[in-house]
Amino acid sequence: MTETTSTATGISQAATQTPISGAELAAAANGAASTVSDIAPAATKLASAATDIAPAAPEITSALIVDATLWILIGFSAVTWALILIKGIQHLRISHHNRIYGKKFWGASDFQAASALQGNDGPAARVAEAGFATLLEADGGTTTHDLEHTGDRQELLDRRLRQQMQKERSALESGLAILATVGSISPFVGLFGTVWGIMGALTSISKSGSASLEVVAGPIGEALVATAVGIAVAVPAVIGYNFFIRRNKVIWAFLDDFSIDFVHLALKTAFLIKRQGSSTVASSHYNEQVTRKPVLKTNHDELQAEGAQI
């Protein structure tokens, strides 16, 4: 390019000079032509290299996007099956503990004996412990005078039972939002990878210049794998979500019935629960009163006898 500019400058200067010989003009024209002939092959090589690189960029990009989509779906699948396993074990333990505590609670001799049950676990046991703790707090006079403890004993008991049930519900619903999200977006993630894969496949087909079945089937089939994987990831997530939602409703109905029965049993005892050891103190106090009565009676008889003698 520099040589061409200098040559053109030389020609323009030669044209402004007077007189100009024909030999000088011919020499300048031959120099410019040789310079252009040298530049033309280099420009042709650059254009061909750019033409070869341009189709390769979409192919590399589409391959990376499809691979990234497949890895994301594999991660979704691992998270889904881990949550299904964890939630399954959780529900098995909950059902076992609720069954055992239900037998102990309804097998107790009375409400006072049920409050003395120890070493229990599970949602039903925690709800019952919250209720018994509320009744003991109200019976012992340790209730503070604030908004949380306003109301009579029944209102306070209902509030505490409802709060504990909400805690149990939150624990049961943990992780279900992830299953719902995976089940909803996995097919669309797979479809996104398929679209990019088909775009790359069509670019390759147009570059090959052939539209036969052998050329078309391979790239497009590979692109459709992403959609198949997305559906395969979404199906277990949706099934697990619906199953655990149903199990949560069953457990919640059981806890609701149990809390209602608990309030009715507490109502029969006037919402009073004796602390452990209070019955022993009361019996000893009663025995002391019984032993004191004959002494008083004896002293009274002695006084009557002395008065008669007088």
pLDDT at 285: 39
What stretches of the chain show up as alpha helix (H) in DSSP? 2-16, 22-107, 111-115, 123-139, 153-173, 176-208, 213-268, 278-309
pLDDT one-digit tens code per residue, 42-63 = 545 544 544 444 444 455 576 7
Higher pLDDT, 76 or 155: 76
Which range, 19-28, 112-121, 281-290, has the best average confidence (pLDDT)?
112-121
Higher pLDDT, 287 or 157: 157
pLDDT of 121 over the 50 cut: yes
Higher pLDDT, 16 or 136: 136
In this prediction, residues 271-287 reach a mean pLDDT of 51
pLDDT at 151: 63
Give me 250's structure tokens: 């069953």
pLDDT at 96: 92
In this structure, which amino acid lies at residue 261?
D
pLDDT of 141 over the 70 cut: no
Q: What is the reported pTM?
A: 0.65
pLDDT at 310: 36
pLDDT one-digit tens code per residue, 194-242 = 888 888 777 777 777 766 667 677 777 878 888 999 999 999 999 999 9
Higher pLDDT, 178 or 201: 178
- Which residues 6+ apart lie within 8 Å of 182 measured at CB? 76, 79, 80, 233, 234, 237
pLDDT at 178: 94
| Cα three-residue angle 72-73-76, rounded to 5 degrees | 90
pLDDT at 284: 40
Give me 244's structure tokens: 């655990």
Higher pLDDT, 299 or 161: 161
Higher pLDDT, 219 or 75: 75
As a whole number, the mean pLDDT across the chain is: 74
In this prediction, residues 10-29 reach a mean pLDDT of 50
110-117 contacts at long range (C-beta below 8 A, 24 or more positions apart)? 111/265, 111/266, 111/268, 111/269, 111/273, 112/269, 112/273, 112/274, 114/265, 115/273, 116/276
pLDDT of 282 over the 50 cut: no
pLDDT at 136: 81
pLDDT band with cut points at 50, 70 and 90 for residue 279: very low
pLDDT at 296: 37
pLDDT of 184 over the 90 cut: yes
pLDDT one-digit tens code per residue, 80-91 = 999 999 999 999
